[in-house]
Structure formats: C-alpha cells, structure tokens
Structure 1
Amino acid sequence: MFGESSGRWLDSELWHACAGSMVQMPPLNSKVLYFPQGHAEHAHGGKVDFTTRIPSFIPCWLSGLKYMADSDTDEVFVKLSLTPLTQENTNALLMDLEDGGDDCGNNNGGVVEGGNQEKPASFAKTLTQSDANNGGGFSVPRYCAETIFPRLDYSADPPVQNIVAKDVHGNCWKFRHIYRGTPRRHLLTTGWSNFVSQKKLVAGDSIVFLRAKDGDLCVGIRRAKKVAVGGGEVSVSSVVEAVSCGVNGRPFEVVYYPRGSSPEFCVKASVVRDAMKVRWCSGMRFKMPFETEDSSRISWFMGTISSVQLLDPIHWPNSPWRLLQVVWDEPELLQHVKCKT
C-alpha cells in the first residue's frame, strides 16, 4: 500500500485531464465489483500466486476516493477505499446482475461525478524532439493557445504575454507565450527549458494543459513509458492483502494507475450488468473506444469476436474478466495506440 507521503491529493478535474478522457472512475458511494484477477495484472511482474480459490469478483461499496499524483514523477493515480457488501446485499446484487435490473444501488442517484456537468477545456500534446530540447521552446497547437491559454493581444507587435500554470503538486510555473515566425505560430519560450529540465521530460512524453473551472491554468504530464517509481505497478503483497481483506469481509484499499497497461479492476456494478446482458458469441462485430493523442476526441477500433472463453478456467472459473477474444480489423493501429497509452 502507498502512504500519504507518496503523492498529493489533487482536484479531480486535473487528475482526469492527465488520466485521459477514457478513464471514468466509479462515483463515490456506488456499488462496484472488485476483480482480483485484474488487480493482479498490476502487480510487479503480473504474477500473483493465491494460496486458496478466490472468487472472480467481490461486490463492494466504494467508500473512499482520493485523486493523487506521484511526488517524483507527476504520474496520477487514485486510491480507492472498498467495503465488501454484506452477504444479503451481495445476494441481491448478484440477482440484479443476472436479471438485468435497473438499479445497482448507487445511492447518490446514479450521477457520476462530473457526469452531468460540462467538462473543463483541456488539451494534450505529445512532445516532439524539438519540444523536449532543453534549449528550445514549446510549439503550442493553435487550439490550445486560443482555447486554453489566456487571451493574447494580437494588436501588439509581436503578440506576447506571460502565463502561469499550476502543476499537480500546486507549484506554479511561469512561461512566456509569444506569437511569431513565418508563418506565425504560438510558442512557449522563457521558462519552458526550466520546466523540461525539472520535470525530466523527453520526446514522447505528453504535456496536458487545462483551464480549470475557477479560471486557473493547470499543467500535467503523461509519461511515454512506465517510470521506475510506481510505474503503474503495485506490490504483490498489496494485492494479496487486498484480496484477503475482501474475501473476509474487511474494508481495504487499492491503488490504480490509469496510464498502466491493464484496465480498471474496480468497475461500477451497473456497467458489468449491462455487459453481462449481451449474448456474446463468435462472429459478432465489436468496437472499442480509444483516445486520440491530443485528447480532442474519441475514436473507435472495429473487430470481430473470434471466441468467448475463460482466460484462466482453472484458477478463475466463471470469471468474466477478459472473456472476449477479438480479431481487429486494423491490428497494427491498435498496437500503435497501446504503446501511446
């Protein structure tokens, strides 16, 4: 488990901008299904040997939610406090999953945090070699400059301003924003080199700018590759401890890194219910959303289900985790996206 000193508790707006629009955490106080099989994939080496047979999922209340960022790498993660349901509530939830009931027990009215509110404007850009050059500047996409940054006075010659952006730790970074060149383009000059150096940015990392609802300009980072600290991985012992608590009905805490290679292992119960209502079979067309590099839109991968079978029937019988095998129409593009997320 991670202590409070390993990161700063930050606003959910900036956290979600750094995590990416594809990441949707369950709302606080909702009923969720915790998948030990999925949690184990996040363990160091991806291998956890459980001494006893573990249920494929454990129904829980999401009793706590803390959005955080690693103090060394700026990588965002979330701490989820889970309270296993009583046997009576578990039986009711299992019946609801089987019959496709309309209510999976979200006692906040089914409103996902921020789900019915307009999202603040954000933009992400993958750094080029020129952007990451410690002696250079940052080429700002026009959309970001005109939508996220403070308004620039184009009547000046040249149009220039100083901007301040707050990172995930609450530290403020000052940049000089100028519109110049032939053809003209937006650039961050003074202050950018120091930011690159202090954050240890390299080509392939992504920079995220957000205009928060309170008007503040915020900046976050998405690392190109898993880093040494955290890196989207948790210890094997923390997974074993969490599963042991869950099986024995004791509250427990898990940590999830959204930029890791494995999907969410704590899923809103109604989402699982909707998926289980579908009669999946070979030959069905299947589509999966993914986020473009600049986070400006959601695109879709198309494929065909080749089989519906258990990933590990010996250790995880009747588990819906990774139940579908899909042949993608454009597998080379899927691999490209996987290396970017």
Structure 2
Amino acid sequence: MEDGAGDDLYQELWRLCAGPLMDVPCVQDRVFHFPPGHIELAEMESDEVYARITLQPSSDTDPLDPNPICSEKPKQKFYSFIKTLSTSDTSTHGGFSVLRKHANECLPQLDMTMENPTQELVAKDIHGVEWKFKHIYRGHPKRHLLTTGWSSFVAAKKLVAGDSFVFLRGENGQLRVGVRRLNPLQSPTSSSVVSTQNMRLGVIVTASHSVMTNTMFVVCYKPRFVSIF
C-alpha cells in the first residue's frame, strides 16, 4: 500500500468485495458479539476476502460503559460500482460493457472532443497487482467499454457469468478492482482459512480457554459465507 489514502482504498475495496452486510468496528471498540469481518485479507487463488482477527478477552463486561471514542481519520470520498457479469462480459473475445451512469460517476472522464474517446486505466486488485484496461466510448448506439486487458482479467480471475465486478475510484484518482463470486471458488488455502464444520468447536474451545486465562486468541472466517461464530 502506497500511503494512507491507498490504505483507505484497499479497506473500501475489501468491504465492497465482502458485501453490504459487513460492519467494521473501530480499533478498541468493545465487542460483545463477534462482528462480521475486519483486518482485510484475500485468498491469492480465488480473491475471496476473509478476516483473521486477534481478540483480547476482558473481565470488564459492564454493558453500560461506553466504547472509547473512535479516533479513525475521516476517509476520502469513494466512487464505485458493482456489476453482475453477463455471458458476453465473460467472453474472451469481447469486452466489458459499463453502464453510462457508472461510467459518468466512477470512471475517469474521457476527452469527448476525440473522434473515438479512449484512455488507459491502471487499477490494482485486492493483492496490489496492477491491471491495465482500455476504456473506449464507441458503438451504435455508443457505449462505454473496457476492451484491451479485460479478457486477461477474466481469465486470470476465472470469472463466470453471475460473478460480480467491483470498480472503485478514490478522490485522488487511484483505481481499484475486485470480484465478488456467485459461488465459492475452491482454492488451496480454503481449508486453512476457515471450515465451519471442522473449526467451530475448536474456535469455541480456544476462545473459552483464552477467556479463562486472559490471553489473546485468533479467529478466522469468511464474511461472505457462514460465520464460524
């Protein structure tokens, strides 16, 4: 991550990939119920986001005590869209069609004085890998398209119709892209990250022991699937 603004963008990208039901607490917030995901990570093979969280048990459980005042800095303004991919979007011979509303609100502006307005977009994914796309405005009727570079992204991310493409732009002009899977994509790290069937009991036992001994413990889970708590 390049700077604080870059950190904000990656955190926002993680939230968009995780889905709309995620609620991220502030640092030092008192947690009485295990929250849906923070500390942003993603699997290398599938781009599925997950969380690995270290919790410190507290003997002070008075619910009337307020949380510490959140000291997080105000974040920059974000512009984003999420589009469910069609069969044509995932074709290796085609491009990605961007709705006019999304293009106007989220993509960097094109020079419309050109006969065929075009520009190169450079965006980083959840792992910090750069992807280059050609953004062009053409056709009859004219529409916004991502062409060169899109098929490589589709192939590398193993995208299929029904998956969603996440696009994010910060007010500083930095771009981020991500994916949200329709169905889980198996990856070599899946079993080591979380398994609700095999880890639920172990997590509860570990948490119980940590509460009794007042020691920190780690919980891992995927926020877009079934939580292990």
TM-score (norm 2): 0.83
TM-aligned CA deviation for residue 264 of structure 1: 8.8
Contact 2:164 2:179 in 1 (8 A): yes
Aligned partner letter, 1:136: G
Q: Which has the higher contact order (CA 8 A, sep 6+)?
A: 2
TM-aligned CA deviation for residue 242 of structure 1: 2.5
Q: Counterpart of 1:130 in 2: which secondary structure?
A: coil
Q: Counterpart of 1:186 in 2: which secondary structure?
A: strand
**2:215 equivalent to 1:259:** no
1:194-213 pair list within 5 angstroms: 194-213=152-171
TM-aligned CA deviation for residue 247 of structure 1: 1.5
Structure 1 CA distance for aligned equivalents of residues 171 and 116 of structure 2: 29
Aligned partner letter, 1:130: S
Q: Counterpart of 1:131 in 2: which secondary structure?
A: coil
Deviations 1:244-273 (A, max 9, x none): 23212132111232221x3695xxxxxxxx
Structure 1 CA distance for aligned equivalents of residues 184 and 22 of structure 2: 17
Contact 2:136 2:146 in 1 (8 A): yes
> For residues 263 and 244 of structure 1, do their structure 2 counterparts lie closer, same or farther at Cα, with a shift above 3 Å needed?
closer
Structure 2 CA distance for aligned equivalents of residues 212 and 140 of structure 1: 18
Deviations 1:2-34 (A, max 9, x none): xxxxxxxx9312111222333112222111124
Deviations 1:144-175 (A, max 9, x none): 21222111011101111111111111111111
**Cα RMSD, aligned residues only:** 2.7
1:38-53 pair list within 5 angstroms: none
Q: Counterpart of 2:135 in 1: which secondary structure?
A: strand
Q: Counterpart of 2:107 in 1: which secondary structure?
A: coil
**2:118 equivalent to 1:143:** no
Structure 2 CA distance for aligned equivalents of residues 146 and 184 of structure 1: 14
Aligned partner letter, 2:157: K
Of the three residues 195, 199, 202, the one matched with 1:241 is 202
Structure 1 CA distance for aligned equivalents of residues 129 and 46 of structure 2: 14
Match of 1:80 in 2: 53
Aligned residues: 214
Percent identity over paired residues: 42
Aligned partner letter, 2:39: K
Deviations 1:314-340 (A, max 9, x none): xxxxxxxxxxxxxxxxxxxxxxxxxxx
1:211-230 pair list within 5 angstroms: 211-229=169-187, 230=190
Match of 2:31 in 1: 32
Deviations 1:276-300 (A, max 9, x none): xxxxxxxxxxxxxxxxxxxxxxxxx
Structure 1 CA distance for aligned equivalents of residues 23 and 33 of structure 2: 15
Structure 2 CA distance for aligned equivalents of residues 70 and 214 of structure 1: 27
Structure 2 CA distance for aligned equivalents of residues 241 and 29 of structure 1: 25
Unaligned runs of 5+ in 1: 1-9, 40-61, 97-102, 266-341
Larger radius of gyration between Structure 1 and Structure 2? 1
Structure 2 CA distance for aligned equivalents of residues 255 and 245 of structure 1: 12
Contact 1:14 1:220 in 2 (8 A): yes
Aligned partner letter, 1:197: A
Q: Counterpart of 1:84 in 2: which secondary structure?
A: coil
Match of 2:5 in 1: none
Contact 2:122 2:130 in 1 (8 A): yes
Aligned partner letter, 1:25: V
Q: Counterpart of 1:31 in 2: which secondary structure?
A: coil
TM-score (norm 1): 0.57
Aligned partner letter, 1:27: C
TM-aligned CA deviation for residue 215 of structure 1: 2.2
